[in-house]
Structure 1
Amino acid sequence: MEKVTLNGTDLNVSRICLGCWQFNNGKPTVNWESQELKESKAIVDKCFETGINFFDTAEGYAGSEETLGECLKGRRRDAIVATKYGFGRGTEPYTAEQIDQTVTKSLTKMQTDYIDLLQIHFPSFIKDKDETITELKRQVALGRIRYYGVSNFGPKNLENYADLKPVSNQMGYNLLWRSVEYEVQPICKERGISILAYSPLQQGLLSGRFNSIDDIPVGRRRGKLFADVGDSPARHGLPGCEKEVFEAVNRIKSICARENINMAQASIAWLLQQDAVPVVIVGAKNPEQVVANSKIIKLSDSVVKELSDATEEVKAKVGRALDQWVDPDRCE
């Protein structure tokens, strides 16, 4: 597995990061089925076998930090762990004291004495900019965190919180969700901020498994690609763009079939060949998915362009919306 050092850090990470949202210790959520601890451990075992050393979790992922801590017992020093604060107090912003308390809880849950990368889950969790910057720097000085970054920060927030100087910005980015390309990507590229791209397979759509909206589990139809109607669990109130999405998926399938390449691997490769994207964050239901996702391929420039062209209509329909889930946008 190829590794890269994130800009402004000494974190030498695998280009595939395991997203640990699905680590729920047998307690399913609206987005993920039940995953027992032994299955999560088998997934982490396979990550180490394939050279994946980067793991992303969050305070707001129920059971995830605790499960990851159990899975990393005896090998914490071999892993790079990123977590996020936010949602532990509902939607309320965090004071310096609350950041400190949350770091303590995360350290305890993950059975570790340091966090490699602490991220602010959404800009709304910042109560006071200067206080937050001071506290994050204090946490670094104490050795409780090594570096800090942000998550879901759009262009306005990247400007408003420029003094924060994050090393990374975790953003939803994939062939079907390309809104970061308008403004976020150029800003991150200019400032040397690494984009950690989450949802690279758009919750399975870019794996080629789903041929129509009826094939997609209801819990995965919350995003703005799907209309907020009927039995949809969405809460954005927008019309979606299912027609454009499935037309694009079929075009991608055709390109991959012609090139004799796996659609999921092509989707991940396309992302890793975009500006300012050193890492993609991919979840896994089982160890086999880890193996499949770890096989990074190199696409020709012409195929990269073809894949981009195949999703231009979806990009235009989505526009500059960065928040897949809520309207108005929380990532402005």
Structure 2
Amino acid sequence: MTPATRYGKPAADILAESRALLRENAEHLARQRRLADLLSGRGAPRERCACCNARLDGAGPFQRRGIDYLLCPECGHVQTRLAPPADQPVDFGAVYPPLSGAEFASRVERIYRPKLDWALEALAATDGPPPLERHWLELGCGYGFFLAALRDAGARRFMGLDACRELVERANTALGENRAALVDGGLARAVRDSEAEVYAAFFVLEHLADLPDFLAAVAEKPEGVAFVFSVPVFGLATVLEDCSDRHFARNLDGWTHAQMFTERSLGRFLELAKCEQVAQWVFGQDVLDLGRMCALAAENYPPALRREVDGALARMADAAQQAVDRAHFSDARHIVAVRRGAPRNG
């Protein structure tokens, strides 16, 4: 099967979130600088790739924003040289603050309903029951946005799991029913223990310290089980973070994101999971990051000139991002994949 590829998504869908990042830039930048100092010398040196588990002998080292990284010579995965300290996990309850009911509904409609509609279209072309009749399990469900999109679309058999108790509680409150639960024993174990027909994970896999074990768990699922996911990819937005130290790193900060996929490591990821890609959606917010970078550079311009810069950036955003997407240089990939072949024996 030739994978179906879609490119682009309107910048207006996440313009409010992008503007919030600009307002909060100084706060995020100061925090990242403190964390870079804190991480210096902390954590154990990685001996094996966080994605393919190959030895990192001969890995290509580089440094950015005071943190050392490695490029896996086997699969091209990008990762910090030191694994993040296990005693200081990321507090995702703080990363994703509380929202009003209207803000929650808006994010579901603008950001998560389009993801679901695209996934349903792709899954409808695969073998099995109609997509909304299948059993869905979202891994790392967070605030419950995708769960709400599933419910609103008519799904009945769906649940979400998350490692953050605070986000699980917020999700169930926002949904008005207990559809989210605290994960017990990690996501690899959750996949092994589940009989779901569709697994979803949006910007979650890059946070897993046991990604090879997770991929092995997916490879053990029966043929035809679907996997809908998104991951950050080393692209233009990540390179822009090295062009100026005035804007905070949204993509590769060495803390929230201590590893990042490339086109090559994403391909190896699918091989290890024994999955066939049936659809991908290539889009990002690289040009919005460029706009944030330019807005910070233009802070000392007269107001009239700043407005001209802002207006020009807004008018070019979608066309410029389309060019980045079609060059496969955007900061994210959304994938629909299906388990193919005999499951891996334990």
TM-score, normalised to structure 2, is 0.35
For CA contacts below 8 A with separation 6 or more, give which structure has more relative contact order: 2
Higher Rg of the two aligned structures: 2
TM-score, normalised to structure 1, is 0.36
